[in-house]
Each structure stands twice: as C-alpha cells, then as structure tokens.
C-alpha cells in the first residue's frame, strides 16, 4: 500500500515537472518571438506585446501551469484595491508580480502633468530661458541637458525626467533648427545613470534599499560616487559620437532679435503658476515618498487629478493627448515578463551566479554587475532586482562576503544595463515615444549603435571602480 502510494506520488511529481518545463519553454519562446517582432518594427509595439501577453496567459498559465490563480496574480488587478498599493507604512510598494499597475498609473499621471505644463507654455518658456543662458549654442545645450538629466534623475523618477526634458528638447530643436535625437538619446542614458546614484532614483534601488535596510546616504556615498565619475566619461563619449551632427547648425546664423522672449511663451500667467506649483509638488512627493509612505501610484493619480482640475475646460483635451499606446505596451510587456518570473526562469538565471563564480569574489562581483546589466537590457529590471535580492543575501551568508558590495553591484548593473536597448528601461520607451510623437523616429539599429557602447563603457568603469574601492 505504501509502495503504491509512493509510486503515485512519484508519478505526480514527474507530471508537475513536465508541466513546469513545458511552461518554461513556452514562456521563453513567447518572449523571444515578442523581442524579435519588436526589433523588426513592422507592427505597432503595443499590438505585439498585447498579443504575446494574451498567448502567455493562455499557453503558459493555462495550458502549461494549469493555474487560473497564476492568471489572476499576473493581471494583478486586485492590488489596486489594497491599501498598500496607495500607501505603505515603511514598506516598498514597488515589488509586484505581473502587471505593475503602480508604474502604469504613475506614468499616466506624469503624462497628464507634462501635457498640462505644455498647454500653458511652461516648456516653451523653459527652453527659451535655457537657450538664452547658453547663448543659443547647441553644444552647450547638449552638455547642460545631459548634466541636468542626470541630476534630476537622482531625486525624480527617470520617467518623469525624460517626459520633462524630451519635451523641452523638442521645443528647442524647433526653434533653433537642430536634430533633437542626439540630445534625447544622451538624456535617456544620463537619466538612467543618474537614477543609479540614489535610493529614490530608480525602482530597483528602492527595492534594494528597503529590502536590505540601506539609506539614501548609503547609496550616494557608494553608487552615487561611481555614477558621478562615469558621467564625465559619458559626456565625453556622447560628444565624440554626435559632434558632427551637433556642429551642423553652426553655420546657421540665428538672428537673436527674431527669437521670441521667454515670457511670450506663457499662455496663461495663472495657469503657468499653478502648473509650476504642481510640478514642484510632484518633485517633493517623489523625493519624500519613501518617508511618507505614499506610493508612486498615489502620487501619479493625485498629480493627474490636480492637473485636470486646474485645466478646467481643457481637461478632456489633456486626456486625449495621453500616449495610451505606450501604456498598453507596458501592460503587455509586464505580462510576458511575468511568464518568465512565474515559471522560475529568472530564479534559474540568478542561481547560476553562485555556481559559476565558485566562491571567487572578483568573479562573483563581475558576474552580478554584467549578468544584471545584460538581463535588464531585455527584461524589466524591477522583478529581476526583486529576484536577485535573496540570491545576493544567500551568497553573502554562504561565502562570507560583504552584502553591501553585492547590493551596489546589483544596483549599478540593473540601472545601467537597461540603457542598452529601447525596451530595457521605462525612460527609454518614453523618450523614444516622445520623439516619435513629434516625427523623429528612433529605430532599434540607431539606438543600439550609440547606446550599447556607452553602456559597455560605464559597466567597465563600474567594475574597475568597485574592484579598486572594495577589493
């Protein structure tokens, strides 16, 4: 009787393993197909990700795992109605499984805020003010915007930074007749780099900091120092790459008298003042959200409501201008990545690190930096960072290695690696979408040709600097 029961249990375990293997194969296949189709760029990206998401729900979770609960958990709708989605008392609200509605709502809210600011002339005013300060020279604008992007991303989510700066860049390019693509690409990279410098700069950092108990100061004195040194080399690199494109308009003589004054861009003084206050409030809320417990979803929704109320009759127009295709792209992407997460693919990837390194600190540190970077170039870095935290915790305990060093390696790898591809980080998607919205198409080839070498440079520098400081 016991033997029969054991045999049944063994058969049951074998069946479960086969189902899991099938689900894993399906999840990987769907992701690769989606990735290839996005690269080919024949169809709208949001259509590709939504179709792949639907196939993931049916084949991976339905056929493979036979789990309706997995579908429910991946769609993650119930989280919206939980208190911790809007307010978390000292716990990170960023860690979610499946669709990260917090990110979706936040991006939507920031889009509405940016559209509201544009409507009252804020960006046109700002770009003219900046242009005047640098005497309408493209190269100084280029360098200034890279530094500004990196600095702002230290305190504000990189998505918001790019929404803001990309809009300014487009406005400025129209006035001064230059190609905005080099500056937008540089801004995107610097935003991701700047986000690595602080705990509140990028969601993976928030996850790492709150999970392992590191403070804002801990990040600034470690990842912040590395990011600051890397920024110098990044500015030099992008100037070298884009110097010919940036110098094209040097021959153009711009009659300063014909340029409008910054004040003439303001359509409504009261609307301008209100939009500025809303923007400053958004910055304060984002900088302090780890302390207040207010989630980014709450901040996004709150700022959106304030913007729409302030807009009055123009509220409907602002809602129509929201880039819903980008939001749908994220929804589909989260589901497909959720398939990799649910089937244990991400966990398998992370567990390989301990085996390959063989306990060697030099090898382990390099693997964490580079594997995190490579993975973050293709998949969302939020679930990857969340998956890697228990791994580095275990590695530190078993190998007797300082946990904080592994944490800084994970933070730099996930934050920087996302810059390499158009889908690697949210800021990339938003920046490309903003450019496309204004008639400037940035295809995969153009993007990767510039951003992959930049990513490699920063990763090499990061590895060297961490070896020098911690080993």
Higher-pLDDT residue of 353, 40:
40
Higher-pLDDT residue of 360, 254:
360
Give the pLDDT confidence score for residue 138 in this predicted structure: 87
Give the pLDDT confidence score for residue 33 in this predicted structure: 92
What is the C-alpha to C-alpha distance for residues 95 and 91, in angstroms, rounded to an integer?
Answer: 10
Q: In angstroms, what CA-CA distances link 183 with 106, 323, 376, 431?
A: 25, 21, 23, 11
Considering only CA atoms, give the Rg of the chain.
Answer: 23
In 3D space, the residue among 190, 95, 160, 24 whose CA is nearest the CA of residue 381 turns out to be 95
Bridge partners (DSSP) of residue 87 are: 294
Polymer length of the chain: 471
The pLDDT confidence band at residue 93, using thresholds 50, 70 and 90, is: very low
Kindly give the interhelix angle for 296-311 and 269-292, rounded to the nearest 10 degrees: 170
What is the C-alpha to C-alpha distance for residues 380 and 330, in angstroms, rounded to an integer?
Answer: 10
The stretch 311-335 carries a mean pLDDT of 88
Kindly give the interhelix angle for 122-133 and 138-153, rounded to the nearest 10 degrees: 120
Higher-pLDDT residue of 226, 430:
226
Q: For a pLDDT cut of 90, what percent of the chain falls above it? A: 31
Mapped onto helix, strand or coil, the DSSP state of residue 294 is strand
Phi, psi for residue 410 in degrees, rounded to 5: -65, -45
What is the C-alpha to C-alpha distance for residues 458 and 75, in angstroms, rounded to an integer?
Answer: 35
pLDDT surpassing 50 at residue 94: no
What is the C-alpha to C-alpha distance for residues 336 and 34, in angstroms, rounded to an integer?
Answer: 9
The pLDDT confidence band at residue 423, using thresholds 50, 70 and 90, is: confident
pLDDT surpassing 80 at residue 96: no
- Site of tokens 């792949």: 52
- Which helix (H) or strand (E) segment holds residue 372: the answer is helix 361-376
Give the pLDDT confidence score for residue 250 in this predicted structure: 56
Give the pLDDT confidence score for residue 167 in this predicted structure: 85
Give the pLDDT confidence score for residue 92 in this predicted structure: 47
Name, in order, each residue with C-beta under 8 angstroms of 33's C-beta and a sequence gap of 6 or more. 52
Angle at 279 between CA 273 and CA 285, to 5 degrees: 135
The two tokens of residue 96 are 């979610």
Give the single-character DSSP code of 293. -
The two tokens of residue 115 are 């559209």
pLDDT tens string 234-293: 999 999 999 888 877 654 566 666 666 778 778 888 999 999 999 899 888 877 876 888
Give the pLDDT confidence score for residue 284 in this predicted structure: 87
What is the C-alpha to C-alpha distance for residues 298 and 252, in angstroms, rounded to an integer?
Answer: 47
pLDDT surpassing 90 at residue 125: no
Residue 438, CA atoms < 13 Å, CB-side half-sphere: 18
Name, in order, each residue with C-beta under 8 angstroms of 69's C-beta and a sequence gap of 6 or more. none
Q: Is the Cβ–Cβ distance between 93 and 85 less than 8 Å?
A: yes
For the four alpha carbons of 252, 232, 203 and 365, in that order, the dihedral sign comes to positive
Mapped onto helix, strand or coil, the DSSP state of residue 87 is strand
Burial of 260 (0-12, 13-18, 19+ CB in 10 A): exposed
pLDDT surpassing 50 at residue 303: yes
What is the C-alpha to C-alpha distance for residues 22 and 19, in angstroms, rounded to an integer?
Answer: 5
Give the pLDDT confidence score for residue 30 in this predicted structure: 93
pLDDT tens string 156-195: 778 878 887 888 888 888 877 888 999 999 999 999 999 9
What is the C-alpha to C-alpha distance for residues 240 and 453, in angstroms, rounded to an integer?
Answer: 12
pLDDT surpassing 80 at residue 380: no
Bridge partners (DSSP) of residue 294 are: 87
Give the pLDDT confidence score for residue 249 in this predicted structure: 60
pLDDT surpassing 80 at residue 354: no
Q: In angstroms, what CA-CA distances link 175 with 59, 83, 137, 307?
A: 51, 46, 12, 27
Burial of 251 (0-12, 13-18, 19+ CB in 10 A): exposed
pLDDT surpassing 90 at residue 379: no
What is the C-alpha to C-alpha distance for residues 358 and 363, in angstroms, rounded to an integer?
Answer: 8
The two tokens of residue 57 are 């729900």
What is the C-alpha to C-alpha distance for residues 467 and 471, in angstroms, rounded to an integer?
Answer: 5
pTM score of the predicted model: 0.75
In 3D space, the residue among 147, 150, 198, 235 whose CA is nearest the CA of residue 408 turns out to be 198
Average pLDDT of the chain, as a whole number: 84
Q: Is the Cβ–Cβ distance between 410 and 385 less than 8 Å?
A: yes
CA 24 to chain centre: 26
pLDDT surpassing 90 at residue 222: yes
Give the pLDDT confidence score for residue 370 in this predicted structure: 93
pLDDT tens string 187-207: 999 999 999 998 777 778 877
- E strand spans, 348-400: none
Name, in order, each residue with C-beta under 8 angstroms of 36's C-beta and a sequence gap of 6 or more. none
What is the C-alpha to C-alpha distance for residues 50 and 46, in angstroms, rounded to an integer?
Answer: 6
169-184 b/e (C-beta count within 10 Å ≥ 16 → b)? bbbbbeebebebbbbb
- E strand spans, 114-191: none
Higher-pLDDT residue of 55, 84:
55
């Amino acid at each position: 009787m016991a033997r029969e029961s054991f045999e049944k249990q063994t058969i049951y375990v074998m069946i479960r393993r086969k189902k899991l293997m099938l689900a894993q194969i399906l999840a990987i296949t769907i992701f690769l197909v989606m990735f290839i189709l996005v690269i080919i760029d024949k169809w709208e990206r949001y259509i590709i990700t939504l179709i792949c998401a639907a196939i993931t729900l049916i084949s991976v979770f339905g056929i493979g795992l036979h789990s309706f609960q997995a579908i429910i958990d991946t769609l993650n709708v119930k989280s919206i109605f939980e208190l911790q989605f809007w307010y978390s008392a000292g716990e990170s609200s960023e860690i979610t499984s499946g669709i990260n509605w917090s990110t979706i709502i936040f991006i939507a809210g920031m889009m509405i805020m940016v559209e509201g600011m544009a409507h009252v002339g804020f960006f046109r005013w700002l770009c003219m003010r900046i242009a005047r300060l640098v005497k309408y020279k493209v190269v100084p604008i280029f360098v200034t915007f890279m530094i500004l992007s990196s600095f702002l991303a230290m305190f504000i989510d990189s998505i918001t930074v790019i929404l803001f700066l990309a809009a300014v860049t487009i406005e400025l390019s129209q006035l001064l007749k230059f190609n905005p693509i080099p500056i937008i690409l540089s801004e995107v990279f610097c935003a991701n780099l700047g986000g690595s410098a602080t705990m509140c700069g990028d969601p993976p950092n928030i996850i790492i900091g709150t999970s392992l108990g590191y403070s804002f100061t801990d990040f600034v004195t470690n990842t912040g120092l590395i990011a600051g040194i890397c920024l110098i080399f990044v500015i030099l690199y992008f100037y070298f790459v884009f110097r010919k494109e940036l110098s094209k308009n040097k021959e153009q003589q711009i009659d300063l008298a014909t340029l409008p004054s910054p004040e003439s861009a303001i359509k409504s003084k009261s609307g301008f003042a209100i939009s500025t206050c809303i923007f400053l409030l958004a910055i304060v809320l984002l900088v302090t959200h780890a302390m207040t417990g207010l989630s980014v979803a709450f901040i996004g929704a709150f700022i959106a409501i304030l913007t729409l109320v302030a807009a009055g009759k123009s509220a409907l127009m602002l809602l129509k201008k929201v880039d819903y295709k980008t939001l749908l792209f994220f929804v589909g992407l989260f589901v497909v990545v959720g398939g990799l997460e649910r089937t244990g693919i991400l966990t398998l990837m992370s567990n390989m690190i301990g085996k390959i390194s063989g306990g060697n600190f030099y090898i382990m540190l390099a693997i964490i930096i580079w594997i995190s970077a490579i993975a973050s170039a293709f998949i969302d870095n939020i679930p990857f960072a969340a998956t890697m935290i228990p791994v580095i915790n275990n590695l530190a305990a078993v190998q007797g290695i300082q946990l904080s060093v592994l944490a800084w390696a994970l933070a730099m790898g996930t934050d920087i690696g996302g810059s390499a591809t158009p889908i690697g980080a949210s800021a990339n998607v938003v920046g490309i979408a903003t450019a496309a919205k204004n008639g400037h198409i940035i295809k995969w080839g153009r993007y990767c040709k510039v951003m992959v070498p930049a990513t490699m440079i920063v990763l090499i520098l990061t590895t060297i600097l961490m070896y020098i400081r911690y080993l």
